[in-house]
Structures are given as structure tokens and as C-alpha cells.
Amino acid sequence: MADKVLIYSRFPKSMMARFAERFELLDTGGKPACELFSADELSGIRALLTAGGTPLGAEAMELFPKLGAIVCYGTGYDGVDLKAAAARNIAVGHSPGANAASVADIAMTLMLATTRRILVADQYVRSGDWAASRQSPMMRPQAGMPGRRIGVYGMGEIGRKIAARCAAFESEVGYFSRTKYDLPYQYFPSLEALADWCSVLMIAVRAGAETQHVVNADILKRLGADGYVVNISRGSVVDEKALVAALSDKTIAGAGLDVFEKEPHAPDALTALPNVVFAPHIGGHTLDSHVAMQSCVLANLTAFFEGKPLPYAVRST
């Protein structure tokens, strides 16, 4: 009999196909497990598959008395209460690095689309305004990439890939992270100092309680009127109300956002703004990235059911 895996978050069926070949899947579709399955069924569950951003606390874990593994699809695990898991000896796994290139690429896409105003440009052509030679203040030339100061917040695998890409665009790259690394980019000892220096802030930090609303009104003000924010980490890192205010009153020039505080909702005050480019949390959403993430999930689940340590375990910090 196939080992059972409860699908705790809402995932498209197509993303689960490879797992269904190896395991018996109990799919909640993101709904409360206790509404869909009997207590008896849940009591036998030893492994969960979840999205890292989905809240999964001590109380939820208690529904599954035999739970031994929480496997996150993707690199993030900010929704999982690691202390509660550790207290119950539940292993937590993720897919480190598997989507790093894909996420770095959406960061670059959002930065270029925002600074080169590609939404406005596309509309200017499609509407016939270009053919009619109508003036568009939004189409005035802006600063380009050579010599632009890009500040990368967080120097994990995604941050490094963003930095390498920006360097190829002939931009200056600086970064802030808890640790100073041996990297050919200027290190700043605080987020404030990085924001004072850079004109584009790329948020690539691992999210958690200590990064909640770290990008606030003060940081945005430091970026200045020519400044841009690109967030591909988690919505929680940015104070979304302060961001709406800064974009509305031109404290900063624009933003590119793949993540939001309450997904899948982006506030109306934000989506009404013309100087933002939005994406629906598709950073890791490429074919190659999904294959790589699924391989990590399969390796984690297989090892767990064989009684081995997870090969892609979350390390407590």
C-alpha cells in the first residue's frame, strides 16, 4: 500500500502529478483537513506537503498525532512554526535553491519592466497614441542600467543570482545581509545605509518574524524620488500601507511586486497605481523550476518514509 501524504495547501493538480505516482495523496485543496477527512484518516497521516507561506502552527499540527514530516514545496518555510515542529520531533523540509534562478529572473523582469515602464510603453503603442504622436509624460527617458545602484537585501542563493545578473547589466551592486560575504559587491552594514545608497532595492531576504515590515516608510523615503522597490521575497517584509503612500505621493518612483501581505489579495489602493508592475507570486513559476522543486519534495518524502533524514531539511538558525 502506498504511503499517504496530505496536501495541506491549495496546489494545481498538474503540480501534484509526479507525487501521485508514488504516494496516496489526500488533497485538501487548501480547505481545513478536518472538514474533508475523518479524524481516523487524519490520525494516520505521517507526512504533509504544504506551501511555505501557508500558516501551519502548533494547533494545526495536533490534528495529526503521527505527523513526522512537513515538506514545503519551494524554498520558503515562513508559515511553518519551526519551534512547534521541533518540540514534536517533526522534520521540516523544503526545496533550497531549486527555484532561485526563476525567482531571480522575475526580480529582473519586474525591475526592467518598472524602470523602463513597459506597461505604459505597450499601452502607448496598442492605443494608437504613438501613431497619433500624442505626448506621454510617462514615456520621458529615465535612468538606464549602466551605473545604476542596485541594492540587494539578502544574499542567499536568490540574492546572489540577482546580483550576478545586475552586474552583467553594468550596474553597481551593493547588499545588506546579516553576514558579510567574500563577494565582489559593496557591503552595507544596515538596510538604512543600503537604502541611502541605492536607487533600486531588491528584496531577496528570507522572511520571518524579524523581517516583518522591515521595509517601512523610513526605508522608502531613503530610496528617494528616483527609487524603486522590487519584492520577490514575501509580502510581510514590506509595510504595504507605507508602500501605497510612498508610491501615491511620489516619495519613490515605482515598484515591482510578486508578493503581497495577504495573498492572493493585492489591495485596491495598490492595484490602482500606474507606477507598479504586478505579478501573482509567480517567481518560482517556470517549468524547470517546478521540476527541480518537485525533485526535492520527492527526495524528502521518499527519505522520510524510508526512515532516513530529509536530504533537503530546513536548518534552524
Binding site for a copy of itself (CB under 8 A): 10, 101-102, 105-106, 108-110, 112-113, 116, 118-119, 121-122, 124-126, 130-131, 133, 139, 141-147, 164-165, 167-170, 264-266, 271, 277-280, 282, 285-290
Instruction: Record the cell numbers describing residue 176, joined without a space.
Output: 545588506
For 62-106, the DSSP string reads: HT-TT--EEEEESS--TTB-HHHHHHTT-EEE--TTTTHHHHHHH
Residues 235 and 229: their CA atoms lie apart, in Å, by 12
Residues 229 and 149: their CA atoms lie apart, in Å, by 12
Give min distance, CB of 135 to a copy of itself, in A: 9
Candidate list 41, 213, 263, 285, residue with the active-site label: 263
Residues 207 and 203: their CA atoms lie apart, in Å, by 10
Give min distance, CB of 146 to a copy of itself, in A: 5
Instruction: Check if 263 is active-site.
Output: yes
Compare residues 112 and 313 and give the one whose CB is closer to a copy of itself: 112
Asked if 64 and 48 count as a contact pair (C-beta separation under 8 A), the reply is yes
Residues 77 and 80: their CA atoms lie apart, in Å, by 6
State yes or no: cis peptide before 264, omega within 30 of 0: yes
Give min distance, CB of 113 to a copy of itself, in A: 5
Residues 110 and 230: their CA atoms lie apart, in Å, by 7
Residues 127 and 148: their CA atoms lie apart, in Å, by 31
Instruction: Check if 306 is active-site.
Output: no
Candidate list 148, 149, 234, 290, residue with the active-site label: 234
Give min distance, CB of 306 to a copy of itself, in A: 30
Q: Which is nearest to 49 in space by CA: 22, 88, 89?
A: 22
CA 31 from centre of chain: 22
Residues 185 and 174: their CA atoms lie apart, in Å, by 5
Compare residues 81 and 105 and give the one whose CB is closer to a copy of itself: 105
Residues 159 and 173: their CA atoms lie apart, in Å, by 11
Compare residues 42 and 106 and give the one whose CB is closer to a copy of itself: 106
Compare residues 48 and 292 and give the one whose CB is closer to a copy of itself: 292
Collapsed DSSP state (helix, strand, coil) of residue 101:
helix
Give min distance, CB of 197 to a copy of itself, in A: 18
Compare residues 81 and 240 and give the one whose CB is closer to a copy of itself: 240
Compare residues 146 and 189 and give the one whose CB is closer to a copy of itself: 146
Give min distance, CB of 121 to a copy of itself, in A: 4
Asked if 69 and 55 count as a contact pair (C-beta separation under 8 A), the reply is no
Instruction: Check if 149 is active-site.
Output: no
**Catalytic amino acids?**
234, 263, 281
